[in-house]
């Protein structure tokens, strides 16, 4: 009998990167569509349902012969003080009636996957009344958005392994490659310089994860502003895919558990055997449709049966629940999440929130720390095209250069 063919699912296989990019394109498109629905007075549960429908439609258009494709993360819409993804159920009357409030920073998180290669994106949208979308944002709202934007830009650059983009002689490249990657404590310290400039704080225990096939919480993670007893493990390396997340609060950044129902889960034990009929059906549906990717109970055939089944499955460790967590002081929070591939040419954004229009946000604060500014001016990826003589501008000003719109992507590892 011939040996079973071993498939390379790493970035060495061009098909892997293509599938990641396909999923990322869908995630970005759906995020843009859902962002248009963030209008004061709209029900959150309705927006989540519409987002999922759009994502399903878009995924159905690609890779017709691929059996497993769909959600890497359901559509979630988190109000101002919420830190974690929030996706209420229509069968919970009180939460089903929760609406978007004017001025809220709303966090939208969702993701698509193709053949188990998932991309997740999260963007923050300020809920503005119709007709006011083009108005310039000032005050504390602008501080929050700008702090989150620049902290995210810094974090992405700190994900690049030392020496990856170094130019010069072979000796200079070798020397740069020997430098140690920044520790997670060092990363947190640098990010705090940015957010504190805007009188904000990092959200405690914000975590970036290594991604794998059928897995968005693999063996390595980076934890920012860790709470007591929490720590990260590992540093980014070439050939890896990461979900890079930043969370910023107008308050202390400390978090607490909210009383809202937990509706977001993921498979934790594939070999678990449930007893109740509702639990058995739930596990079967989860394994078939979602594998180990997160799902919402509202995505199941019956919310009532799903709620009953989830109780037993969570209690016995078959499912892991994502508790609803928010700012301890109920202060507004902003979050961004970008799925990236780390290659020899730098960072390739597989799925990302839209680029921020810096002209729309004005603050009386600006970044002055020279070390931070120097890092922010570094490219995310190697420019393989013709060089263009452009005057460098400090990123803390509203006239900052466009972040990495023109960065070149590489299919090589």
| pLDDT tens-digit series, residues 224-265 | 999 988 889 899 999 999 999 999 999 999 999 999 999 999
- pLDDT for the residue numbered 73: 98
Maximum Cα–Cα distance across the chain: 72
Domain with CATH 1.10.10.10 in the chain: 263-322
Tokens 């999440």 locate to 337
Task: Centre a 10 Å sphere on the Cβ of residue 1 and count the other Cβ atoms it contains.
Answer: 3
Where helices occur in 251-302 by DSSP H, the ranges are 277-289
DSSP state of 2: P
Residues 337, 108, 295, 343: what is their CA dihedral angle, to the nearest 10 degrees? Answer: -20
Tokens of 24: 């990322």
Report how far residue 224's alpha carbon sits from residue 197's, in angstroms, rounded to the nearest whole number.
Answer: 17
pLDDT less than 70: residues of the chain = 1-3, 384-413
DSSP state of 54: H
pLDDT (tens digit per residue) in 385-410? 554 444 444 455 443 444 444 344 44
Task: Centre a 10 Å sphere on the Cβ of residue 410 and count the other Cβ atoms it contains.
Answer: 17
Please name which of 327, 362, 318, 290 lies closest in space to residue 141, comparing C-alpha atoms.
Answer: 362
- pLDDT for the residue numbered 392: 47
Domain with CATH 3.90.230.10 in the chain: 14-259+332-377
Question: Class assignment of domain 263-322?
Answer: mainly alpha
Report how far residue 241's alpha carbon sits from residue 394's, in angstroms, rounded to the nearest whole number.
Answer: 29
Tokens of 205: 């225990």
Which string of DSSP letters, residue by residue, matches 106-156? Answer: EEEEEEEEETTEEEEEEEEEE---TT-TTSPB-HHHHHHHHHHHHHHHHHH
Q: Reply yes or no on domain 14-259+332-377 having CATH 1.10.3860.10.
A: no
223, β-bridge pairs? 207
- pLDDT for the residue numbered 174: 83
Whole-structure pTM value: 0.91
- CA 110: distance to chain centroid? 8
Contact by Cβ (8 Å): 276, 312:
yes
- pLDDT for the residue numbered 273: 86
């Amino acid at each position: 009998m011939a040996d079973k063919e071993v498939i390379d699912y790493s970035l060495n296989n061009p098909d892997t990167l293509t599938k990641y990019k396909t999923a990322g394109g869908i995630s970005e498109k759906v995020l843009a569509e859902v962002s248009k629905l963030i209008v004061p007075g709209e029900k959150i549960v309705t927006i989540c349902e519409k987002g999922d429908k759009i994502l399903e439609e878009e995924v159905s258009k690609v890779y017709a012969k691929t059996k497993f494709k769909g959600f890497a993360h359901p559509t979630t819409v988190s109000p101002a003080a919420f830190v974690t993804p929030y996706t209420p159920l229509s069968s919970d009357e009180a939460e089903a009636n929760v609406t978007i409030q004017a001025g809220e920073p709303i966090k939208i998180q969702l993701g698509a996957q193709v053949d188990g290669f998932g991309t997740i994106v999260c963007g923050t949208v300020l809920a503005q009344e119709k007709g006011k979308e083009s108005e310039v944002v000032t005050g504390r709202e602008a501080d929050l958005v700008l702090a989150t934007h620049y902290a995210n830009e810094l974090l992405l650059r700190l994900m690049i392994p030392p020496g990856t983009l170094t130019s010069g002689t072979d000796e200079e490249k070798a020397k740069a490659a020997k430098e140690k990657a920044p520790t997670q404590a060092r990363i947190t310290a640098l990010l705090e310089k940015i957010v504190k400039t805007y009188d904000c704080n990092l959200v405690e225990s914000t975590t970036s994860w290594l991604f794998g096939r059928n897995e968005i919480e693999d063996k390595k993670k980076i934890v920012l502003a860790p709470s007591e007893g929490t720590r990260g493990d590992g540093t980014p390396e070439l050939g890896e895919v990461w979900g890079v997340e930043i969370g910023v609060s107008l308050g202390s950044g400390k978090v607490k558990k909210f009383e809202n129902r937990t509706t977001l889960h993921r498979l934790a034990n594939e070999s678990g055997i449930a007893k109740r009929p509702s639990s058995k059906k739930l596990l079967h549906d989860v394994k078939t449709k979602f594998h180990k990717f997160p799902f919402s109970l509202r995505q199941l055939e019956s919310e009532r049966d799903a709620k009953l089944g989830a109780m037993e499955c969570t209690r016995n460790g078959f499912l892991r629940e994502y508790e609803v967590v928010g700012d301890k002081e109920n202060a507004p929070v902003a979050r961004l999440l970008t799925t990236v591939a780390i290659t020899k040419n730098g960072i390739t954004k597989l799925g990302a929130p839209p680029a921020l229009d810096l002209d729309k946000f004005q603050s009386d604060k600006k970044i002055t720390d020279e070390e931070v500014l120097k890092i922010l001016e570094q490219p995310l990826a190697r420019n393989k095209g013709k060089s263009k003589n452009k005057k460098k501008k400090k990123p803390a000003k509203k006239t900052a250069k466009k972040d990495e719109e023109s960065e070149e992507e590489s299919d090589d590892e």
